[in-house]
Amino acid sequence: MIWIVMIICGLLTFATRFVMFSDIAPKALPRWLQDALGFVPVAVLTAIIVPAVIIAPDGGLEFAANARLPAALIAVTMALLTRSVVITIGTGLAALWVLDWLVY
């Protein structure tokens, strides 16, 4: 059974890559698919960052006494204002360190 699954997965992987290099697939993606793919980075980053901010080490939600939450809000504000990844990361880290040291 496992060999059948591995062979099918290998064939599907080969087929998806072969189609892109052959003349079977269209040269350009449809406009609606290009528009939909524009939301992928936001969705992926949200799925990674939000649990890291609000989930406590024990697995529950942590809103009170959580320095990561206001630091994340400060970082998001800086990201919207500056559109700079370096400034966003630096501001978020500095806010987390200051909040962790002074308040929490």
Range of the domain at 81: 32-102
Total domains present in the chain:
1
Distance, C-alpha 28 to centroid of its chain: 26
Distance of alpha carbon 56 from alpha carbon 64, whole angstroms: 11
The answer to whether residue 5 sits within a structural domain is no
Sorted by sequence, the CB contacts under 8 Å of residue 73 that are 6+ apart come out as none
- pLDDT per position as a tens digit, 38-67: 999 999 999 999 999 999 888 889 888 899
- pLDDT per position as a tens digit, 16-33: 999 888 888 777 888 999
Residues of the chain with pLDDT > 90, as a percent, come to 70
The answer to whether residue 84 sits within a structural domain is yes
| pLDDT for res 72 | 95
Per the DSSP assignment, residues forming a β-bridge with 61 are 55
DSSP 8-state secondary structure symbol assigned to residue 103: T
pTM above 0.85, yes or no: no
